[in-house]
A and B are shown apart, each in its own frame.
Chain A
Amino acid sequence: MAVKNYESIDSTNDITNTRTLLHEAIPLTGTIVSGTYGTFRSERNIKNYTHGQFQSVYDYPFLSSSANHIFDITLGYDESSPFSGSTSVQNSKKINMYNQFAQVLLGYTSSNSDGIRKFENDLTLDGNGYMKEVFFVSFSRLLVKDQIKKGTFSMTFQTGAFTTPSQITLSDRSASVNGDGTLNTDGGDYGVLYDSNILTSNNKGLGAIFYQAGIAVITASVFASGSIAKAANRHAPVDFNPAEPGYPRRSMTGSLTGSTISSSCDAFRRRLVNLSFNNTTEINSKIYFCRVPHNKFNYSSNPTYVSSSKIVVKNQSTDNPVSYITTVGLYNDSNQLVAVAKLSEPLKKDPTNDITLRVRLDY
């Protein structure tokens, strides 16, 4: 009711749109996903499901309201993988997992018998360099926001024997924010994950990162043993899953065929050393230029503005009136207050100055 004076905002000259990309660094240490909140395989920040199709990782024991879901892990292989077979544990679920991710992220092709495009270790999707046995890491939108920033993703794993481990770091170092080094598919843009230590041109990809979907695909050959084609410098064969009470020692090959998805995810977590990326938040803003002319808004209806009806900021009538702005209200044609902006400190307004306040409304 109080507002009596409005100033028009010209829709042509006083409003502009901007787009800003904000990035946050997301560093995750391996300790948070393995061993910090309980003993291995029974950590309180790891949630397993009765359906056994994937495992969820939280940053704090998940029964706490403070816990945030950070990513899911699962494992899958293509039906044509040599490990696919009726004797493999959770065989159909592993195939389903692979197909589900492949359908959503890569789409379909008439080149394959089942119609589903397979993951490859390059950007060509030409039917060569299939990754048929893979781990999937699906990051929460809480971390990814709108997308992972291209060229910032890296994941370090422990490889080799547990007693004499070495490390491999996978990164999307060939991708850049302008889209170079990536390919757009049904699931958005993806880049190839390479071993950071190998710079030769014949370096083969060991995974893929889908930036908008926030999904990393890691070939099981990173932890190669047995018949899985190894990356160039992998220590092989290795124990993927060391012997523990209730869990037999298994190689990667053995884990694919003989372990449940959850058990393989446990082993995967234990191999994870570090993980980092920058996320991206896209902010679309509308900036309103609120132009306050010299001859307007120099008086106030604030009750303290007068004392015994006399304007308190004047000694004599020839003094300039003065007001102090603390708030900008944005209104629609119906005089409804739809947005409010506040100044950090009062801003003096008198007839000797005009002011342009840039008010940004983010969407």
Chain B
Amino acid sequence: MAFLDNSGDIILDAVLTETGRKLLSSGGGIRISKFALGDDEINYGLFDKNHPSGSAYYDLEILQTPVFEAVSQINANINYGLLTFANKSIMYMPEFVQNTKDNAGGFAMPHQKLYYLAANEETAAALRAGIFNTNPQKLIVAGATNTAAVTYELGINSSEISKNSTTKSQYITNIGMTDNNFSVSVNGLFLDLVMALPSNGPSYKNDLTTNSLASYPSPANLVNAAERGKSKNRVNYRDFSAAAAQNEIFEPNGASTTASTFSVISGPGSSLVMLNFGIAAGLQHTKDGTRDRKYTQYGKVGQTAKQTFGDAVGSETYDFIDTTVYLSANTTGAQISIPVRIVRRAS
């Protein structure tokens, strides 16, 4: 009888993060009371369900993944995380997909993969007359409720599942995968306000007979999201709590058009998030006003339209700052990072 291999005893050495060190130095103690697990290094795409040698080899490559050392910076350790769901038979998880359908009105469209956020009405006017003249969907004005807003659909984006109320119940509602609350994390240096849909606002819904929109949220519905304070995991970031509209776009019955007229989610949708942002004080100054130093420090100033938008339209120059907004679903953990360019007319 051979001995059991007990070499798997797991003892890990931990390192304090910057936050931990700061707490220790302040004399308050770190008071650890909970833990979470991460898998940032793992590429689950390496899981080979068709490995010819059998199931023992499915995760061979994953298990050989080299793991990085711990770092003290708080946002370089667990950017995602392991999740707990009681149901073991979950096969699909919702994900965010950018919705740029313009027939519902107000769904912003990125330009050159960036959402352009005009810092003031003067800039917005220049963009309306210039680069976005033919596509006002690309123009988002900071804090406005009458221009387009960043819109993401959350749902099961798989053509394997029909898009109807039955599958929504089966794959989302009945197994606890409904997301009603979201976290929006913005860089507080540049953005100081998040606007989102209210929890009791109109749902995103089509008429299943005519396949026309029965109700839909628009930027006019946006309200200020509640701020939760400084981000725990990102330096300079601030977290906001946002709600969303129910996503009830389903395949119509016998209509000549399909649900894809309104929805970019192939399977059942869960919710629809719409966002706009307020910019930090000073960044909104007009071209005749004082240029905020943040444009110089963190962005670029006096750029031509070609340099700012990739297209040489108009003779104006612009200042801009690029930032990233992080959106995550509180129940299912679905996440998306949204690239935003804050743009201000400089001349």
Contacts and interface: CB of A to CB of B under 8 A. Distances in A.
Interface in B228-278: 231-234, 237, 239, 266-267
Contacts, number: 296
Interface of B: 10-17, 19-20, 23, 30-45, 47, 49, 58-59, 62-72, 74, 77-86, 88-95, 155-160, 183, 185, 231-234, 237, 239, 266-267, 326, 328, 330-335
B35 A338 contact: no
A24 to B, nearest CB: 18
Contacts of A345: 63-67
Given A3-B38, A301-B81, A358-B10, 13 more contacts: A3-B36, A292-B37, A302-B40, A305-B93, A328-B35, A329-B36, A332-B30, A333-B34, A337-B77, A340-B17, A341-B13, A346-B42, A346-B67
Contact of A307 (B15, B45, B266, B334): B45
Contact of B12 (A7, A305, A323, A343): A343
Contacts of A324: 39, 42, 59, 62-63, 65
Contacts of B331: 4
Main secondary structure, interface of A, reads strand
Contacts of B67: 326-327, 342-346
Contacts of A348: 59, 63
Interface of A: 1-9, 11, 15, 287-288, 290, 292, 295-318, 320-349, 351, 355-362
Main secondary structure, interface of B, reads loop
B98 to A, nearest CB: 15
A295 B83 contact: no
Nearest to B65: A346
A12 to B, nearest CB: 12
A307 B64 CA distance: 21
A313 B90 CA distance: 11
Contacts of A2: 78-81, 233, 328, 333, 335
B87 to A, nearest CB: 9
A4 B81 contact: yes
Given A304-B44, A305-B93, A337-B232, A5 B70 contact: no
Given A4-B333, A312-B47, A343-B67, A329 B160 contact: no
A309 B93 contact: yes
Contacts of A15: 32
Contacts of B237: 1
Given A299-B85, A325-B39, A332-B23, A306 B10 contact: no
A345 B90 CA distance: 26
Contacts of A359: 11-14, 35
B174 to A, nearest CB: 13
B71 A301 contact: no
Given A307-B45, A310-B160, A329-B78, A321 B19 contact: no
